A and B are shown apart, each in its own frame.
Chain A
Amino acid sequence: MSSVNDWAAPNPVTTNRSGIIGKPVDRYEGPLKVTGTAPYAYEVQPPSPPAYGVMVGASIAVGRIAAVDTAEAEAAPGVLTVWTHLNVPAQPARGTKAHPRSTQGSKPAFESDRVTYWGQPVALVVADTLENAVAASHLVRLTYEAETPDVDFRARLADAGQPLGEQDMEVGDFDGGFAASAVKLDETWVTPIQNHCQMEPCASVVWWEGDKCVAHTSIQMVKPAQHGLAETLGIDRDAVHLLTRYIGGGFGGKGQTYDDLTLAALAARALGRPVKVAFTRQQMMHGTIHRPATVMRVRLGAEKDGRLNAFSIMTWTHCHKEGSFTEHASNFARALYAAPNRLTGHRLIKLDLPHAGPMRAPGEASGTMSLECAMDELAEQLGLDPVELRIRNEPPVDPENGRPFSQRQLVRCLKEGAQLFGWDRRLPTPGLVRDGRWLVGMGMAAAIRGNFLLPAKCSFSVDADGVITVRQGMTDIGTGTYTVLAQIAAETLGVTLGEVRVEIGDSELPPAPGSGGQFGAASAGSAALAAGMNLRRAIAELATGDPNSPLYGDDPTLVTFQDGVVAIENKSETLATLIRRAAPAGLTIEGDSRPAADMREWSTQTYGSHYCEVGVDTVTGEVRVRRMLGVFAAGRILNYKTARSQLTGGMIWGVGSALTEGNVVDPRYGSLINQDLAQYLVPVQADIGELDAIMLDEVDDKANPMGVKGVGELGNSGAGAAVANAIYNACGVRVRDYPITPDKLLAGLIAKGL
């Protein structure tokens, strides 16, 4: 097995001779996206005119479909077929894996008459046009036997249990340590259900070429989608060609497939023509996953000098009755601050709500909204600066398991952020800074997110024009995958970006784990580097073995790759010349990467700090973010532009989490009340003032051969807490029930006599 020590040797990415690694180059696919010519799944042109499928969602939360009347829908203009559980083609039972190594089992649509959440897809209308399908979908008459939905999370907290297979993590004696602490804090925070609200709703277009199913869909992970669809269709995995070239946002919500893909594939097979199926914006809210609500109790016990003696965060959360997803909002805290007595854990309640699942920075996003505000409150109790409190609790090794940190620049993130932001101008007493109608305050929070490396493969080709093509079953969900793969290829083979092509999002390409958990760039990129190194070796051997090459007979390990030229000292020829002459059909070679066996001997995390200044309108309770700065340490940065975009995007998500975002359940119906982007409020341009993200120089050689880590989740971690802390500093009101909307803040302002 490999060791992280193998990663210490220099390679083209770490040497970065041309300087392209890290450079803020424009997005590879940017011109296509801004000219509207990047085909997203629903826009892919099938080989023949498609039919259009429209789904119907259940209008009860729990119960059964007692009667189905599709006569009117079937008779409507242009309708080709109408399906419910009564007549949908047979599919293997849920979870079936005909192939034992499938990464995803069968996910049948319309399994039975049973409804287990509001909005669950229960019928499909396929018609010749989208308009006809939509019109007919309103004519499907379903009669339900409804049961009383069990959906009131807050009322069911006492019934929550330990998630299956989990136990609380206790180090030392929390109760004793807490009781003995000089200064104590014990508060509870609440975060709401959040919806992903990707710009591109889930969508699929599928057609069949003989026995082969060609499926374009919008998905973060290619292989599980391919396997799951094959299992659902009861066909061989190789008989599914799944493509996902351009993706309009994922955020965790597209880590799995939904009924759009299953139904499009089944209908295309049944009708013998391509079929498109998409979720509407309204259907996305219920029919896909959401980030579940949490209740988090944080207890901090400190000595008078600020050192934590006891620390606990316990999270209550919910998932679907038949699900098991747990929002692990306590886990992130295990590696964050030193304290000898520690207790973290989770309690889960299963409800008749739609499926809970991962959303951007799962765990951290919710968890930091409690702990990082608790630290702010504790700092005030202690009379300490919140930055200083965190520095005083900086652990020398991972406080939970004693492992050394591979890299830990949290303190530097805190200090540099404070300096760049002008934190020294913050007045510790709330309510003292006024700008017209606004009370102005500053807040900060720490950020942390774990690091992962997953196995991946990649292929590299060079053709007779010296063009390098990277091929990988990877995805780009707007993060910059295309671009960083091109940069790695250019640096590794010594060519310009103009001489690199990238093909991803295809199940027939070498598999990669996809985008999620901020493991994408590290995992996919490491495989790309490996493939690039293999191609370098092959090219070097080709040159030194070719009697017509000026490099003939030399040591292939001495060949250099620069500016499209292969050379040994003063002997050289262009890459294109070499390939055209010696391998006119081109060369293709694969590479792979996998986690090192000893990776887990280090605690490997990404870190950051958030600084935020808000204005609070004391008349109305409105909050507006005036400026925000994040400073992050996340290993080597492959592209400062795409990394910064991810970080600022995460920070903006934090602003939304603090101020506007959330969905609420009407317990009478068991449905979410906000069903479109005019009701579910994500931040808009006007909500974001001055905002920047800075990345510290770092190389984490315990993370992977390139020393890179991820940034996709990190920017979100802690961002909302910094906003909440700034609100307190501005006006002296703590709202622990997110989002902090004017109605909630106004109550606090009035209570304070403001």
Chain B
Amino acid sequence: MKAFTYERASDAKAAVRAAAETPGARFIAGGTNLLDLMKLEIEQPQHLIDVSRLPMAGIEETATGGLRLGAAATNSAVSADERVRARYPVLSEAILAGGSPQLRNKASVAGNLLQRTRCAYFYDTSKPCNKRQSGSGCGALEGLNRNAAIFGASDACIATHTSDMAVALTALCADIETLTPSGDARRFPLADLHRLPGETPHIETHLIAGELITAVVLPPPPPGAQAYRKVRDRASYAGGLASVAVAGGQVALGMVAHKPWRAEAAEAALSSGASASEAIAQELAGASPLGRNDFKIPLVARLATAVITDVAGRAA
């Protein structure tokens, strides 16, 4: 691990200011992903700004009937919150499908959104990876890419975003709130947070340098039932092969793209009366598998059909 300096931020404005002013600065909250990556020198921050003790861990009602999840709230706290469980069960289910209890006890809401891919070529620093080292190439493209993306990938990167929580939040049409280095508050849809890889897979979000996520805001739950299902090789503590979050008529897919994948084509088909399987087939018409991950096409088709049908049945 490279030597680095550390400070504990006294307030959010000081944190973003420090982030903007200090070269190579990174925020750290739970550290469940960042510290692992630092030990492998995949991440090499020169300065860490600890935001875990800022007063951003609350979960509160919004005026419009939604919930505001503080960026520092732990994954465990969010998944166990009675309001989340009652009104946003898809979110609770998704969080509980990720990591392990120990990780969820440490991991924060914002950190979960910003976790990095689990692509094996990203983790092995002897291999080319455009995400880890821009311009070095993609080891996974011609490699063992069973778990690679089927939507929105590029020749530069076929990695997936592996958060479960983010898939549920995407289906719930959540917004995020941030603080920019100049001290301004911003709010925009979570769907606009993550980028597709394009030619710059090392740039993963639309956050500006030093911008701090302060909260995730859930709108009132959509009408209808909700469900999250994740497919994985083992029953716990495993990245997914694919997942689907359904909230009423809103559908998002996980582990199929560089970002949580809002299934807009499927949603449009559903709203115009298509069956679940027809709707997901429309979505998958835009997929481009790579060989070893071809199975994700039928897997997502079957999984999403089953969950959408199940949710529709429960709502009726």
A residues sitting closer than 8 Å to B (CB atoms) are 59, 77, 131, 134-135, 138, 282, 437, 619-622, 624, 659-660, 664, 666, 668-669, 671, 673-676, 678-679, 681, 683-687, 739, 741-743, 746-747, 750
Contacts and interface: CB of A to CB of B under 8 A. Distances in A.
Nearest to A119: B126
Given A675-B123, A743-B241, A619 B306 contact: yes
B50 to A, nearest CB: 19
B236 interface: yes
B146 interface: yes
B235 A673 contact: no
A678 B118 contact: yes
Interface string B24-49: 00000000000000011100000000
A741 B299 CA distance: 12
Nearest to A437: B306
B206 interface: no
Contacts of A666: 139, 143-144
Given A664-B144, A742-B299, A675 B124 contact: yes
A671 B126 CA distance: 10
Given A134-B1, A620-B299, A687 B235 contact: yes
Interface string B227-241: 000011111111101
A495 B136 CA distance: 68
B41 A138 contact: yes
A743 B299 contact: yes
Of the candidates B2, B127, B234, B306, the one having the most CB atoms from chain A within 10 angstroms of its own CB is B234
Contacts of B187: none
Interface string B279-304: 00000000000000001001100110
B114 interface: no
Interface string B213-247: 00000000000000000011111111101000000
A279 B118 CA distance: 22
Given A138-B41, A620-B302, A683-B234, A747 B123 contact: no
Contacts of B231: 620-622, 742
B4 to A, nearest CB: 10
Interface string B168-188: 000000000000000000000
Interface of B: 1-3, 39-41, 100, 118, 120, 123-124, 126-127, 139, 142-144, 146, 231-239, 241, 295, 298-299, 302-303, 306
A673 B139 CA distance: 11
Contacts of A621: 231, 299
A621 to B, nearest CB: 7
B47 to A, nearest CB: 16
Contacts of B232: 622
A612 B18 CA distance: 58
A741 B41 CA distance: 31
B233 A681 contact: yes
Contacts of A668: 142-143
A690 to B, nearest CB: 14
A620 B303 contact: yes
A678 B239 contact: yes
A666 B299 CA distance: 25
A660 B233 contact: yes
B236 A686 contact: yes
A467 to B, nearest CB: 41
B238 A681 contact: yes
Given A131-B1, A675-B123, 20 more contacts: A131-B3, A138-B2, A282-B40, A621-B299, A622-B232, A624-B235, A666-B139, A666-B143, A671-B127, A673-B144, A675-B124, A678-B118, A679-B123, A681-B233, A681-B234, A681-B238, A684-B235, A742-B231, A746-B298, A750-B298
A742 B144 contact: no
A664 B123 CA distance: 15
Contacts of A619: 302-303, 306
A134 B41 CA distance: 10
A148 to B, nearest CB: 15
B23 to A, nearest CB: 19
A747 B299 CA distance: 10
Nearest to B229: A620
Nearest to B305: A619
B220 to A, nearest CB: 30
B238 A676 contact: no
18 contacts: A138-B41, A437-B306, A621-B299, A622-B232, A666-B144, A673-B144, A674-B120, A678-B237, A678-B239, A679-B120, A681-B233, A681-B234, A684-B100, A684-B234, A686-B235, A741-B233, A742-B295, A750-B298
Nearest to A620: B231
A659 B303 CA distance: 20
Contacts of B241: 742-743
Contacts of B233: 659-660, 681, 739, 741-742
A678 B41 CA distance: 18
Nearest to B294: A743
Contacts of B238: 678, 681, 684
Contact of A743 (B40, B139, B146, B234): B146
Contacts of A685: 236
Given A131-B1, A668-B143, A747-B295, A676 B236 contact: no
Given A619-B306, A669-B127, A679 B235 contact: no
Sorted nearest first, the 7 A-B pairs with minimum C-beta distance are: A59-B126, A686-B236, A686-B235, A743-B295, A620-B231, A619-B306, A687-B235
A134 B4 CA distance: 14
B239 to A, nearest CB: 7
Contacts of B235: 624, 684, 686-687
Contacts of A674: 120
A684 B237 contact: yes
A296 to B, nearest CB: 23
Contacts of A747: 295
B311 to A, nearest CB: 14
Of the candidates A437, A673, A685, A686, the one having the most CB atoms from chain B within 10 angstroms of its own CB is A673
B204 to A, nearest CB: 19
A138 B139 CA distance: 21
A202 B123 CA distance: 22
Contacts of B143: 666, 668, 673
B148 to A, nearest CB: 12
Nearest to B142: A668
A608 to B, nearest CB: 25
B89 to A, nearest CB: 18
Given A659-B233, A681-B233, A741-B233, A673 B2 contact: no
Contacts of A743: 146, 241, 295, 299
